[in-house]
């Protein structure tokens, strides 16, 4: 098979899919399940009497904002610390290569031996790598830093807050849907529709089969909603 065909085939490898897509789907799913659970918990607790609709909507909005902020901060901190770790690894590796290039060469040789090369071949490869770009070889083969482009913390924070908000808006809008019976029914209905969307999207980004992962997402979300509904109910019955 020609090299061109191999490249073409590799386009379909899911590993090449940007991690942000997966993060976005997860964030949306987070927003969906937590907002739906929060609102259903409140309806089950039957708080607020006549103002219950406005209380419910306020709580839903507050939950979305709070969750989005928490996602943004968490994402920012995590990306920053990941970048810091990679940066200090890089500096340390540069130092090692400067101080003791011989030992670093042997280190690289051993890495290639562990990956299945004979000692002779491993030394040849390590020597060739050191001749070209020793730092890059150590970062990649010793520390597993493949992507030299750093993730950007602010973009990551904004993206995950936006994804959470988008997901949270689905059950939130359910509270405004015309309903024949209880508002909880339309919140659950909207949430399930949303879970189908995020379930299919997450299965597609993972490149897996659609049905089983989607059912897992729906089931997981429903369990979350059922638990908070149960807690809300219990709080209502206990008169808190
Ligand atoms: Zn090294």
Chain segment 24-48, per-residue pLDDT in tens: 888 999 999 999 999 988 888 876 5
C-alpha 104 – ligand 1 centre gap (Å): 5
C-alpha 128 – ligand 1 centre gap (Å): 15
- CA triple 130-133-134, angle to 5 deg: 50
Cα 34 → chain centroid: 15
CB atoms within 10 A of CB 215: 14
* Confidence band of 68 (pLDDT split at 50, 70, 90): very high
C-alpha 197 – ligand 1 centre gap (Å): 45
pLDDT at position 124, please? 96
Mean pLDDT of 164-168: 96
Mean pLDDT of 204-209: 82
pLDDT at position 207, please? 79
The answer, yes or no, to whether residue 66 has pLDDT greater than 90, is yes
Question: How many angstroms separate the CA atoms of 226 and 217, rounded?
Answer: 14
- CA triple 174-180-181, angle to 5 deg: 80
Gyration radius (Cα) of the chain, Å: 25
The answer, yes or no, to whether residue 222 has pLDDT greater than 80, is yes
pLDDT at position 192, please? 93
Beta carbons within 8 Å of 126's beta carbon, 6+ residues apart: 105, 108, 109, 112, 137
Mean pLDDT of 70-76: 94
Question: How many angstroms separate the CA atoms of 144 and 220, rounded?
Answer: 33
pLDDT at position 190, please? 93
CB atoms within 10 A of CB 10: 10
- Give percent of the chain with pLDDT exceeding 70: 90
C-alpha 96 – ligand 1 centre gap (Å): 7
Question: How many angstroms separate the CA atoms of 121 and 198, rounded?
Answer: 48
The answer, yes or no, to whether residue 9 has pLDDT greater than 70, is no
C-alpha 98 – ligand 1 centre gap (Å): 11
C-alpha 92 – ligand 1 centre gap (Å): 9
C-alpha 139 – ligand 1 centre gap (Å): 7
- In the chain, alpha helices (H): 3-10, 19-45, 52-99, 101-114, 119-132, 134-141, 153-174, 183-206, 211-237
Average pLDDT score, the chain: 87
C-alpha 102 – ligand 1 centre gap (Å): 10
Mean pLDDT of 94-110: 95
Mean pLDDT of 190-213: 88
C-alpha 107 – ligand 1 centre gap (Å): 6
pTM greater than 0.85: no
C-alpha 78 – ligand 1 centre gap (Å): 25
* Confidence band of 142 (pLDDT split at 50, 70, 90): very high
The tokens describing 173, both together, are 């809008």
Task: Give the dihedral sign, CA 137/142/147/152.
Answer: negative
C-alpha 18 – ligand 1 centre gap (Å): 28
C-alpha 89 – ligand 1 centre gap (Å): 10
Mean pLDDT of 208-227: 88
């Amino acid at each position: 098979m020609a090299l061109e065909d191999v490249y073409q085939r590799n386009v379909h490898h899911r590993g090449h899919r940007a991690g942000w897509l997966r993060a976005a789907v997860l964030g949306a799913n987070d927003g969906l399940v937590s907002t739906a659970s929060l609102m259903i918990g409140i309806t089950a607790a039957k708080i607020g009497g006549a103002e219950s609709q406005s209380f419910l909507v306020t709580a839903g909005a507050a939950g979305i904002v709070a969750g989005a902020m928490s996602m943004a901060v968490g994402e920012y901190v995590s990306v920053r610390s990941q970048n810091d770790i990679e940066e200090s690894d890089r500096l340390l590796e540069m130092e090692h290569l400067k101080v003791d290039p011989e030992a670093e060469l042997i280190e690289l040789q051993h890495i290639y031996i562990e990956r299945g090369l004979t000692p002779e071949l491993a030394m040849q490869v390590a020597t060739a790598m050191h001749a070209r770009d020793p730092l890059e070889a150590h970062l990649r083969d010793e520390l597993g830093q493949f992507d030299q482009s750093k993730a950007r913390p602010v973009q990551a924070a904004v993206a995950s807050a936006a994804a959470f908000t988008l997901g949270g808006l689905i059950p939130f809008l359910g509270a405004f849907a015309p309903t024949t019976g209880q508002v909880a029914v339309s919140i659950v209905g909207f949430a399930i529709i949303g879970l189908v969307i995020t379930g299919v999207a997450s299965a597609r980004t993972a490149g897996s089969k659609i049905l089983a992962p989607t059912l897992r997402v729906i089931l997981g979300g429903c369990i979350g909603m059922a638990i908070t509904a149960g807690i809300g109910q219990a709080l209502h019955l206990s008169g808190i």
